[in-house]
Amino acid sequence: MDKNQEIEDLILSTLSFYEPMSFSKIVFDMDTELLKKFADFDKDQMLLVLKSLEKRGLVKKTGDGSEAQWQRIHKKRPFWKRFF
């Protein structure tokens, strides 16, 4: 597993399905043991990962600028796949 995938997994495991989380809340809720593996991980890299997750439909962004919040969402499945 490459480094970017591990960072995405770390962020996805931190985000909540139930309430939007601000940048600071995401950082505070991250697993510190896993975060130690990425010494060069910074805010800009985290924002890039969040933007990538938004494009893939795994995360929804609300607000803008310093008030931005992110929430993990379930990907919608096509109607016919719900039965199989």
The pLDDT tens digits for 17-61 are 999 999 889 989 988 888 888 888 888 999 999 999 999 999 999
Residues 20, 71 contacting (CB under 8 angstroms): yes
Alpha carbon dihedral 7, 59, 47, 14, in 10-degree steps, equals -50
How many structural domains compose the chain?
1
Domain of 77?
Answer: 3-83
The domain spanning residue 44 has which CATH number? 1.10.10.10
* pTM greater than 0.95 (yes/no): no
Q: Which residues contact 34 (CB under 8 A, 6 or more apart)?
A: 10
